[in-house]
């Protein structure tokens, strides 16, 4: 077990570090301090090592071209309708960056900033911290974010906390793009997610506020399915599943198997929702690499999207009387 640290680049005059974690089972994970980003994740397979996440080799490609590859997203991940919400009688506007709405905390959310990182080689972990000031992207309150990645065997654990000095919305997600196979798309992976409901979407992927059963829809992953319809045509996914409330943390909320069955991903979370996204809009070229339609899948464990504008969704408001705490474990073997 080890953690090695090296300079990876700079962003607006701040040094960006890379932390290279290696477990006793031979798994290797590279993290960078810009956005607490999982730059690469390599897993032993027959014949060598396989990279299971999408990313770049050079730092400059991330701020220039990355669609949140591997980063944390927030302060409030997913969409906020029209970039506005009302809290304690005051209306706030978050800088819009998606069709007039706010996406993943605005154009300079926490996933596009440099965090402080501290390596812990004894536990194969890195602890990142960021102080987000009052008014950042339009959000109220000073917030101290802490994110700790720990590599244990084949499992990568992420613990996120946030302490705010006044009431403010917080919803942070890990935004890794996975591909467990060797092909250019993830349509023929097998996805099993035991969720019975989903949040209905209206125009521009904004939730209507309705929570509907998955029965008979493309959102029914309970028995396992690919991302193709019965005729074999690709299905686009970019929506939120509502996870069953009676589950225990030791029950994975998603199990994904690669098309050659060499690798299986399991995800555990304490969040109520899971955004399923299969690179619907991805079209990125950099460093001689091309990442196109359906190149990867994201499983973004989260609070329900646009909860600040839907009072019947579980609250995402935190403050001096309530700290934010979030845990997700992902195992690939």
Residue 19 has pLDDT above 90, yes or no: yes
pLDDT at position 82 is: 97
pLDDT at position 114 is: 98
How does pLDDT run across 34-93, given as a tens digit for each residue? Answer: 999 999 999 999 989 999 999 999 999 999 999 999 999 999 999 999 999 999 999 999
Buried/exposed 71-100: b ≥16 CB within 10 Å, e otherwise: bbbbbbbbbbbbbbbebeeeebebebbbee
Active site residues: 175, 300
Residue linked to tokens 């690669």: 258
Residue 265 has pLDDT above 90, yes or no: yes
Residues 205 and 197: their CA atoms lie apart, in Å, by: 17
Kindly list the structural domains of the chain, giving each domain's residue range(s) and its CATH number in brackets, ordered by start: 2-332 (2.70.98.10)
Helices (H), the chain: 61-65
Beta partners for residue 30, in sequence order: 20, 40
pLDDT at position 1 is: 82
- Cα separations in angstroms, 68 against 50, 173, 244: 21, 11, 27
pLDDT band at 281 (very low <50, low <70, confident <90, very high): very high
pLDDT at position 43 is: 98
Residues of the chain with pLDDT > 70, as a percent, come to: 100
Residues 219 and 240: their CA atoms lie apart, in Å, by: 9
pLDDT at position 47 is: 81
Residues 18 and 32: their CA atoms lie apart, in Å, by: 4
Cα-based torsion angle of the residue sequence 279, 316, 126, 43 in order, rounded to the nearest 10 degrees: -30
Cβ(207)–Cβ(240) under 8 Å? yes
Q: Can you read off the two tokens belonging to residue 109? A: 């959310």
pLDDT at position 260 is: 86
Q: Can you read off the two tokens belonging to residue 320? A: 């001096």
pLDDT, the chain, mean? 97
What DSSP string runs through 125-174? EEEEEEEEPTTGGG--S-EEEEEEEEEETTEEEEEEEEEESS-EE-B-EE
Residues 60 and 286: their CA atoms lie apart, in Å, by: 10
Neighbours of 15 (CB within 10 A): 12
Residue 248 has pLDDT above 90, yes or no: no
How does pLDDT run across 100-143, given as a tens digit for each residue? Answer: 999 999 999 999 999 999 999 999 999 999 999 999 999 999 99
pLDDT band at 190 (very low <50, low <70, confident <90, very high): very high
Residues of the chain with pLDDT > 90, as a percent, come to: 97
pLDDT at position 182 is: 93
Reduced to 3 states, what is the DSSP secondary structure of residue 15?
Answer: strand
């Amino acid at each position: 077990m080890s953690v090695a640290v090296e300079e990876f680049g700079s962003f607006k005059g701040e040094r960006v570090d890379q932390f290279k974690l290696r477990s006793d089972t031979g798994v290797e994970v590279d993290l960078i301090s810009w956005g607490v980003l999982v730059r690469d994740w390599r897993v032993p397979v027959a014949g060598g090592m396989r990279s299971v996440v999408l990313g770049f080799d050079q730092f400059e490609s991330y701020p220039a071209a990355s669609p949140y590859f591997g980063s944390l997203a927030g302060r409030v991940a997913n969409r906020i309708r029209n970039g506005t919400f009302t809290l304690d009688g005051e209306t706030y506007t978050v800088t819009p960056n998606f069709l007039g709405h706010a996406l993943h905390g605005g154009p300079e959310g926490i996933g596009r900033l440099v965090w402080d990182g501290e390596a812990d080689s004894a536990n194969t972990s890195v602890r990142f911290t960021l102080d987000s000031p009052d008014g950042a992207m339009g959000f109220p309150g000073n917030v101290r974010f802490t994110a700790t990645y720990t590599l244990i065997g084949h499992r990568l654990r992420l613990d996120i906390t946030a302490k705010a000095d006044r009431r403010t919305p917080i919803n942070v997600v890990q935004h890794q793009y996975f591909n467990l196979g060797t092909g250019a798309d993830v349509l023929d992976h097998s996805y099993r997610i035991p969720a019975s409901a989903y949040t209905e979407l209206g125009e521009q992927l904004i939730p209507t506020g309705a929570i509907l059963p998955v029965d008979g829809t493309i959102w029914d992953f309970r028995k396992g399915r690919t991302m193709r319809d019965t005729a074999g045509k690709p299905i686009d996914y970019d929506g939120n599943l509502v996870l069953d409330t009676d589950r225990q943390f030791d029950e994975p909320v998603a199990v994904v198997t690669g098309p050659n069955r060499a690798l299986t991903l399991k995800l555990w979370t304490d969040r109520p929702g899971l955004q399923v996204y299969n690179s619907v809009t991805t079209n990125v070229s950099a460093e001689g690499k091309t990442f196109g339609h359906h190149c990867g899948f994201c499983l973004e464990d989260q609070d329900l999207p646009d909860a600040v504008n839907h009072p019947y969704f579980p609250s995402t408001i935190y403050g001096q009387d309530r700290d934010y705490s979030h845990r997700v474990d992902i195992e690939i073997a």
